[in-house]
Structure 1
Amino acid sequence: MNKFSLSEIYVYPIKSLGGFSLNEAELEEKGLKYDRRWMLVDENGTFITQRKHFELALLQVSIADGKLTVTHKLTPAQYISFGLDEDTGIAVPVTIWNDTVTGVEVNPEVSNWFSAYLKFKVKLVKMPLAEKRFVDRDYATNDEIVSFADGYPCLMIGQSALNGLNEKLQEPVLMDRFRPNFVFTGGEPHEEDRFKTFYIGEIPFSAVKPCARCVLITIDQQTGEKGQEPLRTLASYRTVNKKIMFGQNLLPQALGTIRIGDEIKVVDWK
């Protein structure tokens, strides 16, 4: 019997910017606390990501003392900070994929900093606590809600999956390309594809569907440079219905604290 253990926890407070690791994290209804609660939008209110703007990879986010700080990875003197509770109170309709929800601008000074960096006008918005963005009804089990994440509250990848990919690559890649919330050790590559219901520590989850990958995984998160890998290699052995799959989207079935070292116990397999 394989033993699975949680080895890494990550949150990405601002969608498509650098995330950070934690030893423990609070699981809320929309996902891990602070995860994808902020997002950059253009003048039309449409979300902005690394898919088009590779330079976002070079912006690192940290949280300390009630403040969120964004720092340029290569020039740390370039940074901006704001309070976690800070916002203008002015509601802004924002679009993420097929959803239109309400965001609130943090403040114009912060938006101007990002606009100067990207060289076009953007706003940084946060998701109000009361805002409900529903998970795709085809996959929801109980009207689950999600933050500004692409589609689901949590994403999990087995370390074995990355190890198996790196064995096929000329130059290995880091896990940060895939932006998971949870990484676990144990089992064969892509064993998470077979998880149906399981526990991380004391918290039950259901595995919804594999995560379809895009051009974002070809961007080196340390340099902001784009290549062809690992998407090209993954396409050769992880294509299902014309989509390249890597990682498993999750729906939490309870709230609580998750810690590195928690055992992952599979209840039902697909």
Structure 2
Amino acid sequence: MRSFLGQYFMEHSPNDLNEQVTEATVAPTDRDICVSQLFVYPVKSCRGIPVQTALITKYGFRHDRYWVVTDENYRFLSQKDEGRLVLIQPTLHEDPPSLSSSNPEGGPVKPYMALNVVDGSQPEIRVPLYPDSMELQALKPCKVTVFLDQASGYDLGDEVAAWFSRFLGRSVRLVRRAELEVRRIHTNVPSDELLEVPAQTAFANDAPFLLASEASMQDVNDHLDEKIDIRHFRPNIMVDGCSAFEEEAWKRIHLQRPIATAEGMTATPALVVDLLVTSRCTRCPLTNTNPDTGVPSPNHQPLKTIVNYRRVDPGAKFRGCFGMNCVPIRLGQMISVGDWVVVKETGKHFRISEF
């Protein structure tokens, strides 16, 4: 099944099985498209972090959706279950100072993630970014249910569970992803032969990356009485300089770092990120959660509008679409705000899910 889907995705469009994906030439107009914003979401459904540069790993951006809040049976929770999750702000501290109030005796402070409620109603709590083998041995291994998947993780213990439980008013756990197995994606799966590692995620739903354009966000707002912002859709990569929903025709893109030369700006050949654009993202009621309050829209917006005018994928006829799922071809590269977007292949998209 998987190899069939990968071959189908790479070779066929929904309306014409003989249509070939076209190879786009790198024209000067490609360089008008650039990365405008980048986001990492360390804890699934909690507040995101805007960043200037992000590292590509097998799960997407480093730390993206690497932690998840679950119920006591380790079923994942999202804003559809608990809208107030969006009021929790993670902050990543990769290189904390050697001396701090949390370490009064001095010495090194290990990298950590700080968790805060945006209104300051609870004291900050911290969890290690990179627990060592001894720390992991002290944690309870578990299997987290994410839709029809079972993803391996580590329960981070009673203290942080109590912190989340007090805020949400129910008994929950916080789980860190374990790298014990590949949790493959299930929508428009590319062939493994095209990628450095199989397409997979930590606790994200559909794909390692979600990409959208500023013009598409503006188009949605043009259809709404009350304007929203991109936080409702939780993309990783925002691009600017293309027309609304132009990204829905992309199949493969290069992100290239611009540098200044005597002749002007040019791209650095050694710093090219190659992404497959695999499918449209079908949207759910999570988009209706107000990111400032955690309260769902009483008018079911923007999802109601998205469903009314964005049912555009023949493979998901009754779902509204916004944003494109992407998979990295190689790992270990960096994406930065300001990178040029060069469209290398275009074609039609037809959403195929194994679920």
Q: How many residues of Structure 1 are paired with residues of Structure 2 in the alignment?
A: 270
- What is the CA deviation profile of residues 81-135 of structure 1, one whole-angstrom value per residue up to 9, with x for unaligned ones? 1221245432101110110121101222111111222222211111123432111
1:250 aligns with one of 323, 326, 334? 326
1:218 aligns with one of 277, 288, 291? 288
Quote the Cα distance in structure 1 between the aligned partners of 2:340 and 2:319: 31
- For residue 99 of structure 1, what is the aligned residue in structure 2? 149
Q: Which has the larger radius of gyration?
A: 2
Contact residue 187 and residue 206 of structure 2 kept, 8 A: no
Quote the Cα distance in structure 1 between the aligned partners of 2:91 and 2:346: 37
- For residue 208 of structure 1, what is the aligned residue in structure 2? 278
- For residue 265 of structure 1, what is the aligned residue in structure 2? 342
* Matched letter for residue 186 of structure 1: G
Shifted more, 127-136 versus 49-58: the winner is 127-136
Describe how 1:88-167 pairs up with structure 2 within 5 A. Answer: 88-136=138-186, 138-142=188-192, 143-167=198-222
Contact residue 36 and residue 149 of structure 1 kept, 8 A: yes
1:17 aligns with one of 16, 33, 46? 46
- State the TM-score, normalizing by the size of structure 2: 0.73
- For residue 234 of structure 2, what is the aligned residue in structure 1? 179
- What is the CA deviation profile of residues 122-172 of structure 1, one whole-angstrom value per residue up to 9, with x for unaligned ones? 111111234321111752321312110012100000000001111221221
1:83 aligns with one of 115, 120, 128? 128
- For residue 117 of structure 2, what is the aligned residue in structure 1? 72
Where do 5+ consecutive residues of structure 1 fail to align?
Answer: none
Shifted more, 178-187 versus 235-244: the winner is 235-244
Contact residue 104 and residue 127 of structure 1 kept, 8 A: yes
Shifted more, 141-150 versus 255-264: the winner is 141-150
Contact residue 158 and residue 184 of structure 1 kept, 8 A: yes
1:29 aligns with one of 54, 58, 61? 58
Quote the Cα distance in structure 2 between the aligned partners of 1:115 and 1:212: 30
Contact residue 139 and residue 157 of structure 2 kept, 8 A: no
Where do 5+ consecutive residues of structure 2 fail to align?
Answer: 1-28, 97-110, 193-197, 257-271, 348-355
* Matched letter for residue 191 of structure 2: T
* Matched letter for residue 164 of structure 2: F
Quote the Cα distance in structure 2 between the aligned partners of 1:27 and 1:203: 9
| Higher share in strand | 1
* Matched letter for residue 69 of structure 1: A
* Matched letter for residue 57 of structure 1: V
1:39, distance to aligned residue in structure 2 (A) = 0.5
| Other structure's SS at 1:236 match | helix
2:306 aligns with one of 220, 234, 250? 234
Shifted more, 128-137 versus 203-212: the winner is 128-137
| Other structure's SS at 2:304 match | helix
1:77, distance to aligned residue in structure 2 (A) = 4.6
Contact residue 73 and residue 222 of structure 1 kept, 8 A: no
* Matched letter for residue 21 of structure 1: P
Contact residue 11 and residue 34 of structure 1 kept, 8 A: yes
